[in-house]
């Protein structure tokens, strides 16, 4: 991770997009940052956390996005510039709060919500485009087109937020957030943060209290007035620009990642003299005058954006209102099927769209070349299964869950949730997970399934969640289950980390984002207080875990909880030596014979075990095996042995 | 008839999922893919093999009864109901402690104790009743352990899992007590010994138990739990016909259930079983019609003759001739079970040429199909 608070104004530094945004927040003089981890947004908060003490700012990993934004708003109310970060899934969770803070307005200091979208859902359950929320809820939204803008837009947006008294959104996408580029640094101001909630009773005061959203219609009207003023401001924003000839054959309208792709495409087509690009940095409210003047340059307009046709929609809607004498454009984009409204943009997709509109010949590299390109990494990178790490406790947990459900024999199933254990949809977790939605949904679904006994439903229901997910959104579902007598088993895979997003601490870890000790909030105490039966087991003790699971799923009614507790292997290995020395006795290994038929490498499939087809035996991959010892208990022949390391 | 050995998928498809499993245990014990749990064989994972011992040894997959009989007893499968007989008589233990704990005359326990004592075997695989009054397998190495396994709960239990658990390199000389279906599975194991497991070359004594049907482990246990205080139970008994009852001993108290009520809990698969007297063993033992406290004993092999001779010599058993009428009735009942099973199978398959798992001569098939049968069997 880069040192984001390096004190070298004017110098160039190589930052990933998220670090650039964090740097931008420092240059904006933020005093508060809160977030819930989620790819591709996590590094913003974690890089701020590293410098928080030095810079005298407060940084926290909140229990979920809703708390993060409400806590962040309080900081703004009390006079601190406040940053709240989340991925687009989190945006859905905070919509309710957004719908009122646009009415109440913010405090004296700016409030910026950074939302990281994940087009193509590289590490997400969906690829929702966050931008429409700006139009829907009347929230100003900007989007950086490169790394420099990712940094520079932060201070810019705080100024907007404070000048107009509204929350603002900075949207980025994975390719901006996670790619690395050169940033020219600015100055980090020396701010002495002082917080106080001033309570003016005079309605004419700069920030009258109570801060509230009523009378709602009046305040809604007022927000529209603000939006119109901000539109004026955006007309001259340095983040909007037109490049290209005065009378191009085609006008590309783009934003975000589309900006660089569009330049690449125009360059590859050598069409700089035929194509103009309007790059928008301030997407909402739409700088209408700028847009209209650019539309007048060309007949044909092509929208290049990731993922939904947002600009395409709002600009076509805007153009529909032009007077009859105005110039009429031909619009191209998603609605003409020149571009997809799903997945990621690529320069190729942009080229294809342009050549579909203009009669430009483009000879892409032949298919053979593409094959050659694809074969290069294959020479160096092993073909790997999407699976848990060697030594991951989840593999053992799902083994026990699988065995228990099979032994029970009533066709029980797992409702899944969001975390590394999402991979239990596939071979990593022996295909146990049968539903996969958003955070907390597995427990909610289990509530529903578990309530269907009266309609003849007789299958055991097991909701599997992670520890961080438990604190984030499972507790209300468990309360509901106990209160309404739903019949399901909640399994909490407690590996002591928010592992999938990069080991952020959570309320169960006893550590805060700033590295300070915190009270460990006991999940078993919470569950017991709710009234659920709670069993705690070590997933590496397969026998006992299976027995516990059976006992729980055979319980006649009620919500009950199994906590499968074992530290994430990646966390453990930073602190401890390997616990065992694993060995395989080839004499005892049955290989593909009747007896086990490669149970360890065919079903258990820990990457630490490899099948040697020549010898017809299993081997330990000593490079990656973490010597957890679980496979010794899987092998029916006792061919795999674990020897405790003294 | 399809005689090909298949894999675990077919075992579940053709046998277990169709309710034909007898709970013999031949498919579990050392296989990581199958497990016995609460009265059912469950699949933990799919093993993906096209051929497996689980399918091969199952007593409900293709079974060439002539081949088994020829190899183990030296004669083709007998048309007579009680199979191949070298000697038949009635016996009881001379040890009153054995008689009080064991079923009927305590002959099985006595023979196992003797075989351990004289070194014929050094381990006996039997079924014992657990503290929860559920059957479980037991590998007895001592007289005390054999005594613990005396008595029956009449519930089916996959005792052959214990055979599969015997280490490959074990040199234990084994004795085993099995029901007729288990005897068939055991015979199939002996005919085509597994290469990865103990070959059973050291099986020195097999004792079969007469069986008309076994009780369903899961359902009957529920019935018992609801009707008696299981903690107090020290013995189950089905007295010889014509008593027609199921007795549960709780110290001095005996609670009797009509056998007709208990019959509701028998395993469905027992209707398709041809064998009442465990024909593929050295010695078969059951009750004696109308005589309490004695066993009917059928000796089938030289090994069986030898241990009986020892028992006589050492004065461990009282032995009497079996009354002619009892033998006649036993033969009728056994033949009745055979014929009824074949007729039930044809009813199920709807085809007189399709006998599911059974491979027998055409002559015998015709004979059994023509046999008049009574509907209910006793025990």
B145-189 tens-digit pLDDT: 999 998 888 998 999 999 999 998 899 999 999 999 999 999 999
Q: How confident is the model at residue A203 (pLDDT cuts 50, 70, 90)?
A: low
A249 contacts A206 by C-beta, under 8 angstroms:
no
Dihedral (C-alpha) A424, A425, A430, A433: value to the nearest 10 degrees? 80
Residue A292 lies in a domain: yes
Round to whole Å and give the CA distance between A13 and A619: 46
Q: Give B-chain residues touching A430 at CB under 8 angstroms.
A: 45
Q: Are residues A553 and A582 in the same domain?
A: no
In a shared domain, residues B110 and B225: yes
Residue B1 has pLDDT above 50, yes or no: no
Closest to A253 in 3D by CA, of A297, A201, A209 = A297
Mean pLDDT to the nearest integer, A40-48: 96
Residue B27: closest C-alpha in chain A = A595
Q: Residue A284: pLDDT above 50?
A: yes
Is residue A366 a part of any domain in this protein?
no
Instruction: Answer whether A257's CB lies under 8 Å from A173's CB.
Output: yes
Q: Measured between CB atoms, which of A408, A593, A596 is closest to B32?
A: A596
Instruction: With respect to residue B240, please indicate whether it lies within any of the assigned structural domains.
Output: yes
A595–B48 CB contact, under 8 Å: no
Q: Within this chain, do residues B325 and B340 fall inside the same structural domain, yes or no?
A: no
Asked whether residue A217 falls in the same domain as residue A79, the answer is yes
Same domain, B182 and B163: yes
Tell me whether residue A403 is in a domain: yes
- The residue among A203, A235, A267 that closes a domain is A235
Residue A282, token pair as written in the block: 């301030």
- Among the three residues A189, A214, A235, which one is the final residue of a domain in this structure? A235
What is the arithmetic mean of pLDDT over B311-333?
A: 95
Subunit contact B196:A594, Cβ cutoff 8 A:
yes
Task: Give yes or no: residues A38 and A129 share one domain.
Answer: yes
What SS3 class is residue A608? coil
CA nearest to A587 within chain B: B196
Sheet order of strands, B235-237 included: B235-237, B245-250, B253-258
pLDDT value of residue A384 = 80
Cis before A285 (ω within 30)? yes
- Let me know whether A124 and A140 are in one domain: yes
Residue of B30, B49, B195 with shortest CB distance to A597? B49
CB contact under 8 A, B44 and A595: no
Query: Binning pLDDT at 50, 70 and 90, where does residue B3 land?
Result: low
**Residues B336, B139: Cα–Cα separation, whole Å:** 34
Q: In the numeric block, which tokens belong to residue B192?
A: 């085509």
Residues A193, A623: Cα–Cα separation, whole Å: 50
| Same domain (yes/no): A441, A512 | yes
CB B275 within 8 A of CB B230: no
Q: How far is B51 from chain A (nearest CA, A)?
A: 8
Q: B102: alpha, beta or left, given left = phi > 0 and alpha = psi -120 to 50?
A: beta
Angle between helices A257-268 and A347-357 (to 10 degrees): 60
Of all residues in chain A, what percent carry a pLDDT higher than 90? 88
Judged by CB atoms closer than 8 Å, whether chains meet at A407 and B44 is answered as: yes
Say if residue A415 is in the same domain as residue A534. Answer: yes
* pLDDT tens digits for range B12-33: 999 999 999 999 999 999 899 9
Claim to verify: residue A552 and residue A441 sit in the same structural domain? yes
**Of the residues A235, A267, A296, which one is the last residue of a structural domain?**
A235
The CA-atom distances, in angstroms, between B6 and each of A593, B49, B328, B355 are 14, 8, 41, 18
Residue B44: the pLDDT is: 97
* Chain A residue with minimum CA distance to B46: A603
Is B2 a member of any domain?
no
Tell me if A7 is assigned to some domain: no
Radius of gyration of chain B (CA): 19
Domain of residue A534: give its range: 393-574
Domain count, chain A: 4
Residue A200 has a pLDDT of 77
* B196 in contact with A, Cβ within 8 Å: yes
Peptide bond into B178 cis (omega under 30): no
A206 has pLDDT over 90: no
- B221 and B344: one domain? no
- Under DSSP, the state recorded for A366 is P
Bridge partners (DSSP) of residue A584 are A640
Q: Would residue B376 count as lying in a domain?
A: no
What tens digit of pLDDT does each residue of B40-74 get? 999 999 999 999 999 999 999 999 999 999 999 99
Average pLDDT (A283-304) is 97
Q: How confident is the model at residue A1 (pLDDT cuts 50, 70, 90)?
A: low
- Pairwise CB contact (< 8 Å): A599 & B35: no
pLDDT at B262: 95
The verdict on residue A385 lying in a domain is no
Q: What is the mean pLDDT of residues B232-239?
A: 90
Question: A198-207, A444-453, A517-526, B19-28: lowest mean pLDDT where?
Answer: A198-207
Per-residue pLDDT at A130 exceeds 70: yes
Residues A294 and A404 in one domain: no
- What is the residue range of B268's domain? 87-333
**Residue A259 located in a structural domain:** yes
| Mean pLDDT value of segment A611-615 | 96
- Is residue A224 domain-resident? yes
Contact A404, A414 (CB under 8 A): no
> Which residues of chain B lie closer than 8 angstroms to A406, CB-CB?
35, 42-45
Q: A213 and A125 in one domain?
A: yes
**Nearest CA-CA distance, residue B8 and chain A, Å:** 10
Query: Are B52 and A594 a contacting pair at CB < 8 A?
Result: yes
What is chain B's percent helix, strand, coil content, to nearest 5? Answer: 35, 20, 45
Q: Give yes or no: residues B243 and B339 share one domain.
A: no
How far does CA A328 lie from the centroid of its chain?
40
Residues of B in contact with A407 (CB under 8 A): 35, 37-38, 42, 44
- Which of A406, A430, A590 is facing B43, going by the closest CB pair? A406
What is the distance between the alpha carbons of residues B152 and B234, in angstroms, rounded to a whole number?
10
Q: Which of A408, A594, A634 sits opposite B49 (nearest CB)?
A: A594
Q: Test B52 with A406 for CB contact under 8 angstroms.
A: no
A253 and A231 within one domain? no
Stretch B233-250: mean pLDDT: 90
B6 touches chain A (CB under 8 A): no
Q: What are phi and psi of A463, to 5 degrees?
A: -95, 120
Range of weakest confidence among A55-59, A111-115, B4-8, B85-89: B4-8
Residue of A246, A289, A321, A258 whose CA lies nearest to A131: A258
Q: Which CATH number covers residue A270?
A: 3.40.50.920
Q: Mark yes or no for CB contact B37/A407 under 8 Å.
A: yes
* CATH number of the domain that residue A538 is part of: 3.40.50.970
Write out residues 267-326 of B within 8 Å (CB-CB) of A: none
Same domain, B67 and B164: no
- CATH of residue A604's domain is 3.30.70.20
Q: What percent of chain A has pLDDT over 70?
A: 99
For residue B327, the surrounding DSSP H or E stretch is helix B324-349
| pLDDT (average), residues A39-67 | 96
Note whether ipTM > 0.95 here: no
Q: Residue B32: its chain A contacts at CB < 8 A?
A: 596, 599, 634, 636
Is A407 close to B48, i.e. CB distance below 8 A? no
- Residue B41 CA, distance from chain mean position: 18
Mean pLDDT over residues A271-288, rounded? 98
Rounded CA separation B135/A115 (Å): 62
Residue A254 in 3-state DSSP? strand
Q: Which of B35, B124, B88 is nearest to A403 (CA)?
A: B35
Domain shared by B137 and B74, yes or no? no
Do B177 and B154 fall into the same domain? yes
pLDDT bracket for residue B199 (50, 70, 90)? confident
The helix or strand, by DSSP H or E, that contains position A471, with its residue range, turns out to be: none
Question: Each residue of A551-586: pLDDT tens digit?
Answer: 999 998 899 999 999 999 999 999 988 899 999 999
Q: Indicate if B325 and B360 belong to the same structural domain.
A: no
Please report which helix (H) or strand (E) contains residue B311, including its range.
Answer: helix B302-313
Q: How confident is the model at residue B379, as a pLDDT?
A: 53
Average pLDDT over residues B233-254: 90
Residues B116 and B258 in one domain: yes
Is residue A221 assigned to a domain?
Answer: yes
Among A170, A182, A175, which Cα is nearest to A140's? A170
Inter-chain residue contact B30 with A634, CB threshold 8 Å = no
Q: Is residue B379 part of a domain?
A: no
- Give the whole-angstrom CA distance, residue A405 versus residue A491: 13
Is A590 in the B-facing interface, judged by CB distances under 8 Å?
Answer: yes
Of A613, A640, A611, the closest CA to residue A627 belongs to: A640
Q: Are residues A520 and A604 in the same domain?
A: no
Residue A253 tokens read as 């309208």
Same domain, B97 and B200: yes
Please indicate whether, in this complex, the C-beta atoms of B49 and A406 are within 8 angstroms of each other.
no
Confidence of residue B218 (pLDDT cuts 50, 70, 90): confident
3-state secondary structure A101-144: HHHHCCCCCCEEEEEEECCCCCCCCCCCCCCHHHHHHCCCEECC
Residue of B nearest to A633 (CA): B32
From the candidates B30, B32, B35, B196, which should be mutated to test the interface with A, based on the most A CB atoms within 10 A?
B32
Query: Do B57 and B181 meet the contact criterion of CB atoms below 8 Å apart?
Result: no
Q: Has residue B375 got a pLDDT over 70?
A: no
- Tell me: pLDDT of B98 over 70: yes
Q: Count of domains in chain B? A: 2
Whether B44 and A593 lie within 8 Å, measured CB to CB: no
Residues B158 and B297 in one domain: yes
Q: Which of A282-286, A317-321, A367-371, B109-113 has the lowest mean pLDDT?
A: A367-371
Q: A343 and A398 in one domain?
A: no
B47 at A interface, C-beta within 8 A: yes
Strands A250-255 and A275-280: parallel
The reply to whether B218 touches chain A by the CB within 8 Å rule is no
pLDDT at A349 over 70: yes
Q: Mean pLDDT, to the nearest integer, of B323-350?
A: 94
Does any CB of chain B come closer than 8 Å to the CB of residue A643?
A: no
């Amino acid at each position: 991770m880069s040192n984001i608070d390096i004190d070298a104004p004017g110098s160039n530094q190589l930052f990933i997009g998220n670090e650039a945004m964090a740097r931008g927040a420092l240059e904006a003089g933020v005093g508060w940052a809160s977030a819930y981890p989620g790819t591709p947004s996590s590094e913003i908060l974690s890089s701020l956390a590293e410098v928080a003490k030095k810079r005298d700012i407060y940084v926290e990993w909140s229990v979920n996005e809703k708390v993060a934004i409400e806590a962040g708003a309080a900081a703004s109310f009390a006079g601190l510039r406040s940053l709240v970060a989340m991925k687009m899934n989190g945006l859905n969770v905070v919509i309710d709060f957004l719908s009122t803070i646009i009415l109440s307005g913010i405090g004296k200091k700016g409030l910026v919500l950074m939302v990281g979208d994940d087009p193509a859902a590289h590490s997400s359950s969906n690829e929702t485009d966050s931008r429409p929320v700006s139009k829907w809820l009347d929230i100003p939204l900007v989007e950086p087109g490169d790394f420099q803008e990712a940094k520079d837009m932060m201070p810019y947006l705080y100024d907007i937020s404070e000048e107009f008294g509204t929350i603002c959104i900075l949207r980025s996408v994975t390719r901006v957030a996670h790619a690395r580029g050169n940033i020219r640094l600015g100055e980090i101001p020396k701010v002495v943060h002082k917080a106080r909630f001033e309570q003016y009773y005079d309605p004419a005061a700069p920030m009258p209290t109570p801060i509230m959203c009523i009378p709602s219609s009046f305040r809604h009207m007022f927000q529209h007035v603000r939006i119109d003023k901000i539109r004026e401001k955006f007309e001259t924003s340095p983040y909007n620009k037109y490049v290209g000839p005065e009378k191009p054959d085609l006008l590309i309208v783009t934003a975000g990642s589309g900006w660089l792709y569009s330049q690449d495409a125009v360059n590859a087509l050598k069409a700089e003299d035929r194509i103009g690009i309007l790059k928008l940095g301030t997407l909402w409210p739409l700088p209408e005058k700028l847009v209209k003047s650019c539309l007048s340059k060309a007949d044909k307009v092509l929208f290049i954006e990731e993922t939904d046709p947002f600009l395409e929609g709002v600009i076509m809607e805007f153009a529909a209102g032009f007077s009859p004498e105005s110039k009429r454009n031909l619009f191209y984009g998603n609605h003409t099927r020149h571009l997809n409204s799903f997945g990621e943009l690529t320069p190729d997709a942009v080229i294809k769209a342009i050549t579909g509109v203009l009669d430009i010949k483009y000879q892409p590299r032949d298919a053979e070349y593409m094959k050659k390109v694809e074969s290069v990494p294959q020479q160096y990178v092993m073909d790997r299964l999407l699976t848990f790490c060697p030594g991951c406790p989840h593999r053992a947990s799902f083994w026990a869950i699988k065995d228990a459900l099979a032994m029970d024999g009533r066709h029980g199933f797992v409702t899944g949730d969001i975390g590394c254990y999402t991979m239990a949809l596939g071979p990593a977790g022996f295909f146990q997970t049968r539903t996969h939605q958003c955070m907390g949904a597995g427990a909610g679904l289990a509530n529903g399934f578990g309530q269907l006994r009266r309609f003849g439903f007789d299958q055991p229901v097991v909701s599997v969640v992670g520890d961080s997910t438990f604190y984030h959104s499972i507790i209300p579902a468990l309360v509901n289950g106990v209160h309404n007598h739903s019949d399901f088993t909640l399994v909490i895979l407690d590996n002591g980390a928010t592992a999938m997003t990069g080991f952020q601490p959570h309320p169960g870890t006893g550590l805060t984002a700033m590295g300070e000790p915190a009270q460990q909030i006991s999940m078993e105490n919470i569950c017991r207080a709710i009234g659920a039966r709670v069993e705690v087991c070590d997933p590496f003790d397969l026998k006992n875990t299976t027995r516990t699971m059976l006992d729980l799923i055979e319980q006649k009614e009620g919500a009950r909880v199994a906590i499968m507790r074992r530290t994430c292997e990646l966390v453990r290995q930073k602190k401890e030596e390997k616990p065992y020395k694993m060995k395989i006795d080839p004499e005892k290994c049955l290989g593909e014979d009747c007896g086990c038929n490669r149970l360890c490498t065919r079903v258990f499939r820990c990457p630490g075990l490899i099948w040697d087809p020549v010898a017809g035996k299993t081997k330990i991959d000593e490079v990656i095996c973490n010597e957890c010892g679980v496979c010794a208990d899987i092998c029916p022949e006792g061919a795999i042995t674990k020897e405790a390391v003294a | 008839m399809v005689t090909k050995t298949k894999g675990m998928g077919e075992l579940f498809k053709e046998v277990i999922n169709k309710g034909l499993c007898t709970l013999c245990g031949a498919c579990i014990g050392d296989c990581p893919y199958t497990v016995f749990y609460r009265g059912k064989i469950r699949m933990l994972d799919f093993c993906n093999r096209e051929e497996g011992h689980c399918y091969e040894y199952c007593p409900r997959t293709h079974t060439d009864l002539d081949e088994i009989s020829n190899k183990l007893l030296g004669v083709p499968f007998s048309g007579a109901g009680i199979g191949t007989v070298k000697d038949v008589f009635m016996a009881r233990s001379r040890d009153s402690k054995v008689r009080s704990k064991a079923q009927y005359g305590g002959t099985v326990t006595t023979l196992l104790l003797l075989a351990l004592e004289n070194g014929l075997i050094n381990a006996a695989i039997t079924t014992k009743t657990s503290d929860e009054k559920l059957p479980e397998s037991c590998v007895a190495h001592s007289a005390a352990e054999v005594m613990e396994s005396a008595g029956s709960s009449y519930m089916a239990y996959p005792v052959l899992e214990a055979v599969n658990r015997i280490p490959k390199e074990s040199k234990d000389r084994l004795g085993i007590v099995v029901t007729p279906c288990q005897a068939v599975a055991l015979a199939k194991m002996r005919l085509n010994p597994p290469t990865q497991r103990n070959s059973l070359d050291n099986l020195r004594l097999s004792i079969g138990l007469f069986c008309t049907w076994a009780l369903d482990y899961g359902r009957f246990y529920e019935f018992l739990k609801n009707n008696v205080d299981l903690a107090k139970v020290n013995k189950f008994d089905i007295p010889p016909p014509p008593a027609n009852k199921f007795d549960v001993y709780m110290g001095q108290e005996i609670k009797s259930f009509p056998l007709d009520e208990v019959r509701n809990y028998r395993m469905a698969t027992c209707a398709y079983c041809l064998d009442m007297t465990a024909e593929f063993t050295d010695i078969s033992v059951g009750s004696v019609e109308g005589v309490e406290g004695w066993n009917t004993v059928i000796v089938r092999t030289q090994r069986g003759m030898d241990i009986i001779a020892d028992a006589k010599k050492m004065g461990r058993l009282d032995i009497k001739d079996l009354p002619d009428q009892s033998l006649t009735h036993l033969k009728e009942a056994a033949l009745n079970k055979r014929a009824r099973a074949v007729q039930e199978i044809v009813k199920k398959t709807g085809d007189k040429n399709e006998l599911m798992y059974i491979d027998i001569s055409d002559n015998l098939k015709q004979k059994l199909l023509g046999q008049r049968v009574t509907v209910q069997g006793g025990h």
